[in-house]
A = this chain, B = another copy of it.
Amino acid sequence: MQRTVERMLRTHPEPAFAPADPLSVCIHACVECAQACTACADACIAEHDAALGPCIRIALDCADLCEAASRVLSRQLAPDLGVVSMTLQLCATVCDACAYECRRHAATYVHCDVCAAACRRCTDACRGLLATTVTTYRDRGPYAAAGHIGA
């Protein structure tokens, strides 16, 4: 689906708030991670293993926050860069926490291993986007006044 993400960015009447490459990678990573976390929470519930409680919890949070992040990042009209930056930082944090929990169970449950890898890709993509846009969009105009990416 990354090609579709890229084509939607390229055909938008407004320029993207960040370089198209790290932005499309990040949207794709958020969407992939949200799906993996929804599936992993379901798989963990089906394992009937009480030790997985915290893993299920953080996977459900991670799915919700990645999904919200993918939507915020998919919009290019009049972004509030303070909100975008905090969204990326929260997304990176929850993916980190979910990857940590999933890795603890990765030797026993392969779905936790697959999910941890998706979380790790999403953390990296969020941090990559935060790093890139600092440089490029710091003084972008009216919306930059309300905050800026990667501050």
Contact = CB atoms under 8 A, between A and B. Distances in A.
Contacts of A42: 12, 57, 60, 74-77
A39 B48 CA distance: 19
Interface residues of A, number: 68
Interface string A54-80: 101110110111011011101111111
Q: Interface of chain A, helix or strand or loop or mixed?
A: helix
Interface in A119-141: none
Interface in A34-66: 34-36, 38-40, 42-43, 45-48, 50, 53-54, 56-58, 60-61, 63-65
Interface of A: 1-2, 4-5, 7-9, 11-14, 27-28, 31-32, 34-36, 38-40, 42-43, 45-48, 50, 53-54, 56-58, 60-61, 63-65, 67-68, 70-72, 74-80, 82-83, 86-87, 89-90, 93-94, 97, 109-111, 114-115, 117-118, 143, 146
